[in-house]
């Protein structure tokens, strides 16, 4: 076998190993997506828009639609924001997939970060593409102080970004 064919074979083998090591993390992204889609289906099936079911003094189930981003950012922008957030979401998902592919085998926590963020981004992207809005249904509040409603996808995004910040901080401290 020539050196060129051996190198090509080694490159293909390395690419297959890299792809294989990420299937589990892509499975986590898929699990987040499925859980998000299922919970939103249940909410839409069981609650009318605007309904609120108080569960605990600080927690309620609701059905609210958010055409904007986090904290209803750009929710009243007139409709163009739907396409903006779709393009942004698709681009971001492609970026995350590219970064996942570049991970080294020992970077399991960063792979988990990317998987959570990807699953959350896909969950909200789906709603924007199909409905033009995201269904939010978890409401945390204290008396009249209401935290913006959120969903499973938002939770996965929050956890992924939070874990990412912890990893960045740990890396910074290790370099000092």
Examine the residue annotation and report whether 136 is marked as an active-site residue of this protein: yes
**Beta-bridge partners for 61:** 53, 138
With beta carbons less than 8 A apart as the criterion, state whether 53 and 60 touch: yes
Provide the number of structural domains found in the chain.
1
Does this model's pTM top 0.85? My answer is no
**Beta-bridge partners for 62:** 52
With beta carbons less than 8 A apart as the criterion, state whether 88 and 70 touch: no
Compute CA distances 32 → 11, 76, 159, whole Å: 32, 28, 12
| pLDDT given at position 10 | 46
**Which of the residues 3, 51, 144, 154 is marked catalytic?**
154
Q: Which residue in 63, 69, 64 sits closest to 82, CA to CA?
A: 69
Question: Alpha carbon 110 to chain centroid distance?
Answer: 14
Q: What is the 3-state secondary structure (H, E, C) of 16-45?
A: HHHHHHHHHHHHHHHHHHHHHHHHHHHHHH
Given a cut of 80, whether residue 76 has pLDDT beyond it is: no
Specify the range with the lowest mean pLDDT, choosing from 30-34, 65-69, 74-78, 130-134: 74-78
Rounded CA gap, 133 and 141, in Å? 23
Q: Is 134 helix (H, G, I), strand (E, B) or coil?
A: strand
Q: What domain range includes position 111?
A: 3-175
Examine the residue annotation and report whether 51 is marked as an active-site residue of this protein: no
Residues 6 or more apart whose CB falls under 8 angstroms from that of 159 comprise: 116
Specify the range with the lowest mean pLDDT, choosing from 5-14, 31-40, 43-52, 101-110: 5-14
How many residues are given for the chain?
A: 176
Tens digits of residue pLDDT in 107-166: 889 999 999 999 999 999 999 899 888 999 999 998 888 888 899 999 999 999 999 999
**Which of the residues 51, 76, 136, 144 is marked catalytic?**
136
């Amino acid at each position: 076998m020539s050196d060129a064919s051996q190198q090509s074979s080694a490159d293909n083998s390395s690419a297959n190993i890299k792809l294989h090591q990420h299937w589990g993390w892509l499975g986590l992204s898929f699990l987040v997506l499925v859980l998000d889609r299922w919970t939103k289906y249940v909410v839409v099936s069981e609650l009318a828009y605007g309904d609120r079911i108080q569960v605990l003094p600080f927690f309620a189930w609701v059905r609210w639609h958010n055409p904007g981003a986090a904290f209803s950012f750009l929710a009243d922008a007139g409709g163009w924001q739907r396409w903006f957030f779709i393009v942004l979401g698709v681009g971001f998902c492609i970026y995350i997939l590219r970064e996942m592919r570049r991970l080294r085998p020992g970077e399991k926590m960063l792979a988990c970060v990317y998987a959570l963020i990807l699953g959350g981004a896909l969950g909200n992207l789906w709603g924007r593409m199909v409905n033009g809005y995201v269904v939010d249904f978890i409401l945390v509040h204290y008396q009249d102080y209401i935290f913006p409603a959120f969903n499973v996808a938002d939770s996965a995004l929050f956890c992924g970004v939070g874990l990412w910040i912890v990893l960045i901080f740990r890396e910074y401290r290790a370099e000092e």
